[in-house]
């Protein structure tokens, strides 16, 4: 195989695999963006993703319905995140500690209930668009034919949430709460309830993200299969500057570099696979540096997040 | 103006309120009439704010009642107050800095439309009083990009959008520049002429002169006088506020031999927008200050005063130039800051104290370089107690966190720390901001004392009156350059005004 062939082989399916690998991340990052927008940081997303992934996988295997798996995966994430909501909002515990607690709890629970499902494979996943004629169109062809409904939802969700956050009255309330709970309370907003909603919305979306991973992407379950994607999402929220519109390109960039690393490896590029695995993280770091070089400030961080770190734990 | 048949909109009758042992309000009665500006005067801690916070539902009175248009009402929360048409604008604004003006106004308004496609700018222009009261403020501006005076206007618009009939303003002019203040007075008159009742809490007599119809003076929790503004002279008002006939007005002592102790040569510096002040620059500042001399730095806010003070205090680096004190370099790179420089920064809560630490730690902070490895807490405590007493910080509890002090007392706390030793250079940025008459005089007294013991004093202020009365020389900063220096005795306002506006004729 000549070098040219290799390049073509690597690049040809890249857009599709980038999209596929970005989809779970897109859900989770959007969810965490919402949570952080109301002034709460939730490090438990990793655990919520895992719980979502195993729930989604188990439901899909048992009932043969991937839609149900996706939905219940989201619900599982929501339930787990409500522990975070209870600990931070009702008990006033440290958000960092509570988040880490939720994370560890989630990975433990998912490992425990997942033992029965190791080695199984989903036969009836989401169906892709079956249009053989479209597949012949060069770049767009494989993109459209391999598109699953989950990917479609993820793509639509990003601008939809952006529109909601920046243009709707409820979105405005959420942003106000994230900036200052005292001021919003003075305006008659129930800031505690909004923050609770923010955490649960984040939990639901991270659960869906986890389910998308197991039900739509890998079609299998493995313990700890998210391999840090939840924490990556927390980072990507910062890269996307708490802006749902920007979450899409950021997640795609990350997913794209992940897919690129995998494809380079498959094509036999003479680089250590371990080194290659760091590519997405390097890209994210570079984006962060460039990004902040330009903004030179907090880059749109909700003011309320500051208090997470300024109060002594 | 004030006939007995005058219809009050709000009547407070026999209001009493105590906080522990402190009686904040003692049987206070007050009438507020529509179409009138009522100046509520009094020293810090006279109970003005408490009384108004009771009307605003922030506190509940222990005794007494509130009548609105003759009907007794219970005001149990600010929410209820707003429903009854009472709004209060505090010194600390309740605006969200990272949202736009339009968004803040919409958040506060119950009438704001709920659609996704609403054009917010358009809504604000047609449904809010922003364009009427402050046409120069763009609805799309972020609050954090506004000047203090503009923020205050947005606050006021917010209150009026909620159909407030009674507007209470808590020392509104203490944060404004002279020009903003004048505009604000006009606006207040305009509101009163439209039939609003305005209560103006203040301790500045110029506020009374400029726009009050009626004055009420409070002292130690009681209203000691209530009369039409034109019936009272400034002197009478001061007497009633302070309770002493002649407050000794101190005067500066001329500086000792006129050789320069502090020499600033060709000083230039830049700060970008990422530091705490907005982007500014100073260019080729030359200034020599004699021992015991008080040099006032005048200028419109934002012409480099903040940067100049920071550089002088060694907080920011200079680009070029030298600063010599007694012939030696004032700051050397890598050296910790000198003990004998006293710096009273602008906005003490952000720049002058560790907000979450107690008063003991805050007052000791200056001595941190000399602190023992195992410091004696008792020693720090006595030190703190002594300073708190000397500078009359209220409440006098050394274990309180700094963030819990009111604005004026926070200022006193910083003053106590900075002015208690024997500094050789004092850099004071608006040192009397938020202080009442007695405390202000005390600050000047302290400055003069230090001047007499040969300290150099750089005093940044926007009030020409104060500078002309209490400083020896005045230097004017315009766009980061010293455009003129003049002996106070020979200074004239017109000339200073021209320098401050860059040589243009003052309107």
Q: Which residues does chain A have within 8 Å of residue B79's beta carbon, measured at their own beta carbons? A: 188
CB spacing of B117 vs A163 below 8 angstroms: no
pLDDT digits over B174-188, tens only? 777 777 788 889 889
Q: Which of B94, B103, B118 comes nearest A186 by C-beta?
A: B94
Phi, psi (degrees; rounded to nearest 5) at B11: -125, 125
pLDDT band at A1 (very low <50, low <70, confident <90, very high): low
Same domain? For B25 and B93 the reply is yes
B269 and B371 housed in the same domain: no
Contact at CB, B103 and A172, closer than 8 angstroms: yes
Q: How many domains does chain A have?
A: 1
Do B134 and B64 sit in the same domain of this protein? yes
Q: For residue range B14-33, what is the model confidence (pLDDT) as tens digits?
A: 999 988 777 889 999 999 99
Query: Pick from B189, B174, B95, B177: which is nearest to B142 by CA?
Result: B95
- Using an 8 Å CB-CB cutoff, list chain B residues near A306: none
Question: Does A180 lie at the interface with B, CB-CB under 8 angstroms?
Answer: yes
Same domain, B490 and B358: no
| Partner-chain residue, chosen from B78, B98, B356, that has the shortest CB–CB distance to A303 | B98
Q: From the candidates B100, B107, B354, which should be mutated to test the interface with A, based on the most A CB atoms within 10 A?
A: B107
CB contact under 8 A, B116 and A163: yes
pLDDT of residue A311: 46
Sheet holding B328-329, edge to edge: B280-290, B260-271, B320-325, B328-329
* Angle between the N-to-C axes of helices A45-63 and A191-211, in degrees from 0 to 180, rounded to the nearest 10: 50
Burial class (CB in 10 A: 0-12, 13-18, 19+), A213: buried
pLDDT at residue B212 tops 50: yes
CA B174 to chain centre: 4
Which of A163, A187, A303 comes nearest B107 by C-beta? Answer: A187
Q: Is the CB of A183 less than 8 angstroms away from the CB of B96?
A: yes
Closest CA to A82 of A242, A202, A237, A233: A202
Closest C-alpha among B197, B347, B93, B250 to residue A187: B93
The pLDDT tens digits of the residues spanning B401-437 come to 888 787 778 888 998 998 888 888 999 988 887 777 7
Evaluated on CA atoms B304, B307, B313, B318, the torsion sign reads negative
Instruction: Give the position of tokens 């997640």.
Output: A251
Domain that holds residue A140: 3-310
- pLDDT > 70 in chain B, percent: 91
Residues of A in contact with B117 (CB under 8 A): 167
Domain with A114 in it: what CATH number? 1.10.3470
Task: Read off the CATH number of the domain in which B443 is found.
Answer: 3.40.50.300
**In terms of CA atoms, which chain B residue is nearest residue A163?**
B116
Assess whether pLDDT exceeds 90 at residue A50.
Answer: yes
Taking a C-beta distance cutoff of 8 angstroms, is the pair B483, B499 a contact? Answer: yes
Is there a domain that residue B1 lies in?
no
Report pLDDT for A75.
97
What's the pLDDT band for B349 if we cut at 50, 70, 90? confident
Query: What does the pLDDT look like over A128-185, one tens digit per residue?
Result: 766 666 666 666 666 777 788 899 899 999 999 999 999 888 899 999 999 988 888 8
Same domain, B224 and B271: no
CA atoms within 13 A on the CB side of B145: 9
CB B91 within 8 A of CB B171: yes
Q: Are residues B101 and B134 in the same domain?
A: yes
Q: What is the CA radius of gyration of chain A?
A: 20
Same domain for B288 and B233: no
Which residues of chain B neighbour A184 with C-beta distances below 8 Å?
Answer: 96, 107
Chain B CB contacts of A168 under 8 Å are: 114, 116
Determine if residue B47 is left, alpha or beta; phi over 0 gives left, psi from -120 to 50 gives alpha, anything else beta.
Answer: left
Asked if residue B457 and residue B396 are part of one domain, the reply reads: no
Residue B136 touches partner A, C-beta closer than 8 Å: no
Q: Which domain holds residue B306?
A: 259-340+423-507
Dihedral pair phi/psi, residue B343, rounded to 5° = -125, 120
Q: Does any CB of chain A come closer than 8 Å to the CB of residue B329?
A: no
Structure tokens at B131: 């364009």
State mean pLDDT over A47-69. 95
C-alpha dihedral, B400 to B415 to B244 to B18, nearest 10°: -10
Residues B440 and B455 in one domain: yes
- What pLDDT is stored for residue B366 in this prediction? 82
Q: Which of A168, A179, A186 sits opposite B98 (nearest CB)?
A: A179
* Helix or strand (DSSP H, E) at B41: strand B37-41
pLDDT at B1 over 60: no
Q: What pLDDT sits at residue B2?
A: 45
Domain end (from B393, B421, B449) = B421
Average pLDDT, chain B: 83
* Contacts with B118 from chain A: Cβ below 8 Å: 167
Q: Is A183 on the interface with B (CB under 8 A)?
A: yes
State yes or no: pLDDT of B502 exceeds 90. Answer: no
Chain B residues in contact with A167 (beta carbon < 8 A): 116-118
CA atoms of B114 and A202, how far apart (whole Å): 24
Nearest CB partner across the interface for B79, out of A164, A179, A188: A188
Predicted pLDDT of residue B241: 81
Residue B275: what pLDDT? 45
Nearest-angstrom CA–CA distance, A89 and A111: 28
Q: Summarize the confidence of residues A299-311 as an average pLDDT.
A: 72
d(CA A235, CA A253) in angstroms, rounded, equals 13
Has residue B490 been placed in a domain?
A: yes
Taking CA–CA distances from B92, the nearest residue in chain A reads A183
A209-260 pLDDT, tens per residue? 999 999 998 899 999 998 888 988 998 898 888 999 999 999 998 888 888 8
> In this complex, which of B97, B108, B274 lies closest to A296 when CB atoms are compared?
B274
How far apart, in whole angstroms, are the C-alpha atoms of residue A261 and residue B59? 63
In the block, tokens 């880490």 appear at A100
Tell whether B440 is covered by a domain: yes
Q: For residue A46, what is the enclosing H or E element?
A: helix A45-63
One domain for residues B445 and B497: yes
Token output for B52: 């108004």
**B331 and B306 share a domain?**
yes
Whether the CB of A160 is below 8 Å from some CB of chain B: the reply is: no
Ramachandran class of B2: left when φ > 0, alpha when ψ lies in -120 to 50, beta otherwise: beta
- Note whether residue B162 is domain-resident: yes
Nearest to A12 by CA among A144, A151, A138: A138
Helical (H) or strand (E) element with A35? helix A14-37
Domain boundary among B421, B444, B470: B421
Task: Tell me whether residue B133 is in a domain.
Answer: yes
Q: Is residue B31 part of a domain?
A: yes
CA count, 13 A, side-chain hemisphere, A251:
33
Indicate the number of domains in chain B.
Answer: 3
pLDDT (0 to 100) of residue A308:
73
For the stretch B137-187, pLDDT in tens is 888 888 888 877 788 888 888 888 888 899 999 888 877 777 778 888 988
Distance from CA of B93 to the nearest CA of A (A): 9
Q: What is the phi/psi pair of residue A25, to 5°? A: -65, -35
Q: Closest approach of chain A CAs to the CA of B234, in angstroms?
A: 37
The answer to whether residue A241 neighbours chain B at the CB level (below 8 Å) is: no
Among B96, B273, B274, the residue with its CB nearest the CB of A176 is B96
Chain B partners within 8 Å of A179 (Cβ): 96-99
Say if residue A196's pLDDT is above 90: yes
| Residue after which a domain boundary falls, among B366, B391, B421 | B421
pLDDT of A298 over the 70 cut = no
CA distances from B368 to A93, B18, B235, B364 (A): 33, 38, 45, 7
Pairing status of strand B197-202 against strand B166-170: parallel
Residues of chain A found within 8 Å of residue B273, distances taken between Cβ atoms: 296
Instruction: Give the minimum alpha-carbon distance from B431 to chain A in angstroms, rounded to a whole number.
Output: 28
Tokens 């002309």 locate to: B468
Between A98 and B116, residue with greater pLDDT: A98
Q: Is the full-model pTM beyond 0.95? A: no
Are residues B104 and B219 located together in one domain of the fold? Answer: yes
- Kindly identify which residue of chain B lies nearest to residue A166, measuring between CA atoms: B116
Residue of B nearest to A310 (CA): B356
């Amino acid at each position: 195989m000549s070098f040219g062939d290799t390049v073509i082989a690597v690049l040809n399916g890249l857009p599709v695999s980038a999209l596929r690998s970005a989809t779970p991340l897109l859900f989770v990052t959007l969810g965490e963006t919402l949570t952080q927008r109301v002034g709460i940081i939730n490090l438990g997303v990793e655990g919520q993703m895992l719980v979502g992934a195993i729930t989604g996988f188990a439901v899909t295997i048992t009932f043969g319905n991937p839609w149900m798996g996706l939905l219940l995966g989201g619900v599982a994430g929501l339930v787990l995140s409500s522990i975070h909501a209870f600990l931070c909002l009702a008990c006033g515990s440290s958000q960092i500690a509570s988040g880490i607690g939720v994370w560890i709890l989630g990975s433990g629970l998912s490992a425990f209930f997942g033992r029965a499902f190791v080695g199984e494979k989903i036969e009836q996943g989401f169906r892709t668009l079956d249009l053989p004629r479209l597949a012949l169109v060069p770049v767009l062809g494989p993109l459209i034919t391999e598109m699953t409904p989950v990917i479609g939802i993820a793509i639509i969700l990003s601008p939809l949430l952006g529109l909601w956050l920046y243009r709707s009255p409820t979105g405005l309330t959420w942003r106000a709460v994230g900036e200052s709970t005292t001021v919003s309370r003075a305006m008659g907003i129930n800031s505690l309830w909004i923050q609770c909603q923010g955490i649960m919305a984040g939990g639901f979306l991270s659960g869906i993200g986890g389910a998308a991973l197991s039900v739509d992407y890998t079609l299998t379950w493995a313990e700890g299969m998210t391999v840090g994607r939840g924490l990556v999402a927390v980072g990507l929220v910062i890269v996307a500057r708490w802006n749902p519109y920007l979450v899409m390109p950021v997640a795609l960039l990350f997913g794209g570099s992940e897919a690129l690393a995998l494809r380079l490896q498959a094509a036999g590029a003479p680089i250590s696979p371990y080194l290659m695995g760091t590519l997405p993280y390097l890209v994210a770091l570079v984006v962060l540096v460039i990004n902040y070089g330009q903004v030179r400030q907090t880059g749109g961080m909700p003011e309320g997040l500051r208090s997470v770190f300024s109060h002594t734990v | 103006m004030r006939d007995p048949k005058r219809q009050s909109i709000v009547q407070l009758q026999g209001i009493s309120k105590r906080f522990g042992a402190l009686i904040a309000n003692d049987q206070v009665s007050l009438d507020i009439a529509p179409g009138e500006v009522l100046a509520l005067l009094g020293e810090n801690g006279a109970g003005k704010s408490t009384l108004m916070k009771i009307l605003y539902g922030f506190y509940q009175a222990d005794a007494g009642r509130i009548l609105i248009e003759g009907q007794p009402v219970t005001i149990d929360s600010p929410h209820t107050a707003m429903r009854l048409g009472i709004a209060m604008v505090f010194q600390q604004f309740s605006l969200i800095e990272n949202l736009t003006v339009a968004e803040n106004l919409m958040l506060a308004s119950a009438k704001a439309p709920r659609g996704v496609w609403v054009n917010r700018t358009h809504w604000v222009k047609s449904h809010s009083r922003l364009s009427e009261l402050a046409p120069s403020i763009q609805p799309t501006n972020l609050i954090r990009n506004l000047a203090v005076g503009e923020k205050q206007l947005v606050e006021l618009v917010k209150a009026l959008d909620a159909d407030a009939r009674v507007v209470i303003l808590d020392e509104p002019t203490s944060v404004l520049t002279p020009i903003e203040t004048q505009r604000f007075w006009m606006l207040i008159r305009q509101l009163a002429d439209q039939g609003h009742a305005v209560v103006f809490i203040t301790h500045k007599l110029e506020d009374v002169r400029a726009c009050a119809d009626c004055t009420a003076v409070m002292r130690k929790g009681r209203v000691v006088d209530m009369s039409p503004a034109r019936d009272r002279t400034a002197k009478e008002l001061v007497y009633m506020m302070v309770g002493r006939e002649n407050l000794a007005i101190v005067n500066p002592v001329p500086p000792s031999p006129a050789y320069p102790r502090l020499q600033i040569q060709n000083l230039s510096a830049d700060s970008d927008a990422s530091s705490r002040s907005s982007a500014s620059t100073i260019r080729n500042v030359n200034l020599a200050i004699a021992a015991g001399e008080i040099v006032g730095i005048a200028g419109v806010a934002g012409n480099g005063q903040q940067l100049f003070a920071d550089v002088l205090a060694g907080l920011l680096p200079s680009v070029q130039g030298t600063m010599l004190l007694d012939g030696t370099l004032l700051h050397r790179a890598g050296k910790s800051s000198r003990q004998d420089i006293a710096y009273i920064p602008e906005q003490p809560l952000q720049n002058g104290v560790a907000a979450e630490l107690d008063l003991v730690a805050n007052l000791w902070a200056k001595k941190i370089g000399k602190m023992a490895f195992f410091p004696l807490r008792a020693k720090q405590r006595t030190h703190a107690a002594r300073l708190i007493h000397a500078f009359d910080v209220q409440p006098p509890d050394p274990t309180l966190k700094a963030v819990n002090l009111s604005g004026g007392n926070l200022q006193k706390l910083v003053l106590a720390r900075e002015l208690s030793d024997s500094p050789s250079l004092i850099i004071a940025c608006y040192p009397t901001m938020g202080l009442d008459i007695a405390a202000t005089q005390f600050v000047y007294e302290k400055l003069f004392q230090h001047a007499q013991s040969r300290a150099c004093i750089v005093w940044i202020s926007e009030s020409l009156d104060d500078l002309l009365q209490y400083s020896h020389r005045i230097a004017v900063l315009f766009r980061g350059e010293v455009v003129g220096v003049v002996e106070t005795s020979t200074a004239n306002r017109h000339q200073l005004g021209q320098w401050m506006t860059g040589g243009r004729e003052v309107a």
